[in-house]
């Protein structure tokens, strides 16, 4: 694996790979099995895999966790290498933003709700850095985890609107064996918060059960999630939303593809999670976020199996 810190060096290192299929896994580091599942997918589909690790200041608000965001480059480098990454790009902030940026990429409307509403400017930061990284790496495929389902929708919209020559590959959420979605921010949780954090997954399963029992009204499904989360004394709801996916338009009933998304604080730690529900031709369906693995009629599967990939 080649470790590269400058844009110039990465561009020249990738020259011999032009013409091959280049896969790109952008990350902010502190790698976990979720990131590594993106690498695994990229390796299956591409000849060359580039990973970036860059904690992007532009996507953090002034009171957010930019300074304390977990970082461990030595460990990340070893993990990337062991998992078959070919190029690891770890630019400095000065390398990515040498002067005060005067160009910002803004994706309208779908950034107004959910995380976009709670974190003003966040998706401008994401869209801008991802545009820059796409211009630097020029990948054929880029791999993103569906835990940030709104981020995937925003990037897909941006790629389509700006005719970027890259295919976005959404990859399913990876969970701990007990259901907690993997996140670099899980490290902030103390033992009790970690225990109570299972309420995110449990509330999504409560919604899923109600949906399986025929409930289609988003207000009633939202209420079921809120009441499940309220059972956890340390949980403070940021939002619980059910929106059409990927437009993120408001809906009163589910009659197509819908995203059940939530963000919950445990003290200062904000965790997000989601599931996709869909009604196709009158049949209910819960998505793994990975269309290639979807099949209708999961009614005989266990609750745990229904929402992603498990890290046992
Ligand atoms: O999902 C992330 O880790 C970040 O938002 C991304 C896509 C690497 C952009 O900084």
Whether the Cβ atoms of residue 287 and residue 278 lie closer than 8 Å to each other: yes
Q: 216 C-alpha to center of ligand 1: Å?
A: 32
**What pLDDT, on a 0 to 100 scale, did the predictor assign at position 285?**
73
Q: How confident is the model at residue 303 (pLDDT cuts 50, 70, 90)?
A: very low
- Give yes or no: 288 in active site: no
Mean pLDDT value across residues 143-167:
98
**DSSP calls for 194-246:** HHHTHHHHHHHHHHHHHHHTT--BHHHHHHHHHHHHTTSTTEEEEEEEEEETT
- Ligand 1 near 26 CB (within 6 A): yes
- Ligand 1 near 152 CB (within 6 A): no
Distances (CA, A) of 18 to 137, 140, 165: 10, 10, 14
**What pLDDT, on a 0 to 100 scale, did the predictor assign at position 306?**
43
**pTM to 2 decimals?**
0.92
Asked if residue 28 has pLDDT above 60, the reply is yes
Residue with the two structure tokens 């390796």: 43
**What pLDDT, on a 0 to 100 scale, did the predictor assign at position 283?**
74
Residue nearest atom 5 of ligand 1, based on CA coordinates: 126
Architecture of domain 184-286: 2-Layer Sandwich (3.30)
User: Would you list the domain boundaries of the chain?
Assistant: 2-172+290-301, 184-286
Superfamily of the domain at 2-172+290-301: HUPs (3.40.50.620)
297-300 contact pairs (CB < 8 A, 24+): 299/212
Distances (CA, A) of 220 to 8, 158, 194, 205: 54, 33, 28, 14
Mean pLDDT value across residues 77-82:
98
Whether the Cβ atoms of residue 308 and residue 181 lie closer than 8 Å to each other: yes
Q: Which of ligand 1's atoms lies nearest the C-alpha of 184? A: 3
**What pLDDT, on a 0 to 100 scale, did the predictor assign at position 293?**
35
Q: Is 275 exposed, middle or buried (0-12, 13-18, 19+ CB in 10 A)?
A: buried
**pLDDT, tens digit, for every residue of 253-287?**
999 999 999 999 999 999 999 999 999 876 777 76
Asked if residue 305 has pLDDT above 70, the reply is no
Mean pLDDT value across residues 25-36:
98
Distance CA 137, CA 164 (A): 12
Percent of the chain with pLDDT over 90: 88
**What pLDDT, on a 0 to 100 scale, did the predictor assign at position 295?**
31
Asked if residue 208 has pLDDT above 60, the reply is yes
Q: How confident is the model at residue 289 (pLDDT cuts 50, 70, 90)?
A: low
**pLDDT, tens digit, for every residue of 32-62?**
999 999 999 999 999 999 999 999 999 999 9
Q: How confident is the model at residue 97 (pLDDT cuts 50, 70, 90)?
A: very high
């Amino acid at each position: 694996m080649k470790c590269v810190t400058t844009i110039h060096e990465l561009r020249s290192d990738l020259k011999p790979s032009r013409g091959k299929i280049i896969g790109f896994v952008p990350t902010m580091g502190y790698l976990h099995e979720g990131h590594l599942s993106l690498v695994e997918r990229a390796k299956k589909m591409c000849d060359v895999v580039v990973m970036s690790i860059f904690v992007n200041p532009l996507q953090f608000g002034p009171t957010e966790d930019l300074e304390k965001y977990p970082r461990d480059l030595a460990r990340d480098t070893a993990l990337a290498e062991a998992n078959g990454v070919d190029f690891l790009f770890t630019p400095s902030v000065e390398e990515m933003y040498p002067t005060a940026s005067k160009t910002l990429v803004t994706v309208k409307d779908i950034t107004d709700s959910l995380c976009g509403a709670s974190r003003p400017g966040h998706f401008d930061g994401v869209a801008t850095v991802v545009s820059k990284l796409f211009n630097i790496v020029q990948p054929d495929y880029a791999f993103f985890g569906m835990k940030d389902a709104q981020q995937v929708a925003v990037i897909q919209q941006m790629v389509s609107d700006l005719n970027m020559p890259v295919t976005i590959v959404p990859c399913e959420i990876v969970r701990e064996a007990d259901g907690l979605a993997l996140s670099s921010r899980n490290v902030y949780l103390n033992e009790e918060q970690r225990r109570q954090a299972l309420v995110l997954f449990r509330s999504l399963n409560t919604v899923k059960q109600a949906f399986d029992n025929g409930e289609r009204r988003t207000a009633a499904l939202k209420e079921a999630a809120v009441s499940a989360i309220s059972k956890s004394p340390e949980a403070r709801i940021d939002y619980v939303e059910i929106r059409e996916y990927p437009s993120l338009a408001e809906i009163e009933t589910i009659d197509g593809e819908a995203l059940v998304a939530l963000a919950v604080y445990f003290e200062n730690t904000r965790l997000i999670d989601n599931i996709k529900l869909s009604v196709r031709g009158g049949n209910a369906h819960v998505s793994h976020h990975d269309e290639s693995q979807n099949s209708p009629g999961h009614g005989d599967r266990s609750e745990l199996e229904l929402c992603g990939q498990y890290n046992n």
